[in-house]
Chains A and B, each alone.
Chain A
Amino acid sequence: MQKQPGFLRQELGRGYNLIFQETWPAWISGIFLAILALILFLWWHTWGVAGGFSNWGQWIYYLLGIDESAPQKGPLLQGMSVSNIGLLVGAFVSALISKQFALQRAPRLEYLKGIVGGALMGIGAALAAGCNVGGFYSALGMLDLGGVMMMLGLFAGAYLGLQYLLWEMENLEQGGAGGESSPKKGGFDWKRAGPYIGGLFFLLILLAFQTYSWLGYTKMGGVLFIGFLIGMVMHRGRFCFANAFREPFMTGDSSMMRGVIISLIIYGFGAAAMKWSFVQPPGAGVYHPFWLGSLGGGLIFGFGMLLAGGCASGSIWRAGEGHLKLWLAVLGFFLLNYPTSRFLDQSGIKEYLGKGIFIPAILTWQGGLVLFILFLLGLFILLRWNEYTEKFVAF
């Protein structure tokens, strides 16, 4: 038998192309995302993003002297903040290795849309007690009825956001989109050096995990690492909830939303197994304000994510890929999220927004799970039907 020369090199090349060259189909990313969200749930807590942003906002206001009391935990020890950092670094590493990292500048109007969109997402997430991840994806996965309401709100908000973008396209002409965008000539060649820098950051994340462990915070180290993997998976699949809620109205395409649905089915069943067997408490992650908070929050959030061009998680991974507009979206988000939550709390409005309703507590586990599946399958079929008929496509 003839020994193939360079076998290892060939296999590595194939593996590289498969993982870092091609964009993963949405359903593949969805499956991986569900697995990682379940591992995170088992290891620590339900996955969320807005809680981490709220922590950052709280620190900023405290350091500026606007808020008197310091947050209980620092950004490196607050779970959602740590998983957000992991997500950002994961996307950054993934973008570097796949040679897609570039500092992307945008026309001025886009920056404005980034920060306003981020701010609206921050307000919406405060109302819904979570963003597209905590308030929708995790809420639904945890069988919290608030997740369903936020989903309806997100669809409505995305539709209105799309209407705005269409209006903007007709009425506000963006001058010189091209000139501002491309990186300066003679600058640093990220594409060439990317895979090596990415590899270095991967080692740094492992070192950070180990350091957390040494300091007695193994759990947080794990959260960072799982967040990192989530960032990689989301970037490789360009997994985007803004896309999922927008495309059925924009082009009719529903592949991203179908990826979200497949992901939710796995996440929901996995979480149910953990809760039903009391590995985790049944009420874990059930606190989303049904119905007013989740619906209204979803609406505002949905509109904001269309302006920003990314949801909470999508803004982080796009920021990791180098889009400056999405950095502003993250900034707008955390600057508005915390004060809005505080206002809702102190004014007593929060009382009227609703409370968490655990579906199996009303319908039993069996009934709740059957309804959960039927609901998602119904949505799946509706989206496919819209793909063929384009009934919901706005223009």
Chain B
Amino acid sequence: MSTEDIQADTVLDARGLSCPMPMLKMKKMLKSMQKDQILEVLSTDPGSKNDIPGYCEKQNYKFLGYYDDPEDFTRYYVQT
């Protein structure tokens, strides 16, 4: 399954926010989700490309991948 076909359970719109707000909101949201649910994060901050996978690795969340949306933001997928 490619990243573009992933169906997320919850969407976090962090577009327009810069460091550290996308990470802060993502951390909070992931904590409130149930096991194996998928979170989709929309972000325009270039830092997210490093921060989100790095955070997932450390916290044992499954980072499913990302892709650049034609509307100039990036969609990230994380499974709890």
Contacts and interface: CB of A to CB of B under 8 A. Distances in A.
17 contacts: A95-B46, A107-B16, A110-B18, A110-B21, A165-B21, A165-B24, A166-B24, A169-B24, A180-B16, A182-B15, A182-B71, A242-B20, A309-B19, A310-B19, A325-B18, A387-B58, A395-B27
Interface string A318-336: 1001010110000000000
Nearest to B72: A182
B6 interface: no
Contacts of B21: 110, 165, 309
A356 to B, nearest CB: 33
B24 to A, nearest CB: 6
B11 to A, nearest CB: 10
Contacts of A251: 23, 27, 55, 58-59
**DSSP class of B's interface residues: helix, strand, loop or mixed?**
mixed
Candidate in B13, B15, B42 with the most chain A CB atoms within 10 angstroms: B15
Nearest to A387: B58
Interface residues of A, number: 40
A169 B72 contact: no
B15 A181 contact: yes
A181 B23 contact: no
Given A110-B18, A181-B73, A250 B42 contact: no
A318 B20 CA distance: 13
A318 B24 contact: no
A238 B17 contact: no
Contacts of A106: 16-18
Nearest to A165: B24
B48 to A, nearest CB: 11
Contact of A105 (B16, B25, B54): B16
The 3 A-B residue pairs whose C-beta atoms are closest, nearest first, are A181-B16, A178-B15, A181-B15
Contacts of A181: 15-17, 44, 73
A23 B71 contact: no
Contacts of B23: 250-251
Nearest to B47: A238
A104 interface: yes
Nearest to B59: A251
Nearest to A187: B72
Interface string A217-260: 00000000000000000000010101100100011110100000
Given A169-B24, A251-B58, A183 B72 contact: yes
Contacts of A246: 20
Nearest to B71: A182
B50 interface: yes
Contacts of A182: 15-16, 44, 71-73
B64 to A, nearest CB: 19
Interface string B18-48: 1111011101100000000000001011110
Nearest to A177: B16
A309 B20 contact: yes
Contact of A253 (B13, B17, B58, B71): B58
A177 B46 contact: no
A321 B46 contact: yes
A395 B54 CA distance: 18
Contacts of B42: 178
Given A169-B28, A238-B50, A250-B27, A104 B18 contact: yes
Nearest to B17: A177
A100 interface: yes
A183 B72 CA distance: 7
Contacts of B25: 169
Interface in A308-359: 309-310, 318, 321, 323, 325-326
Nearest to B14: A177
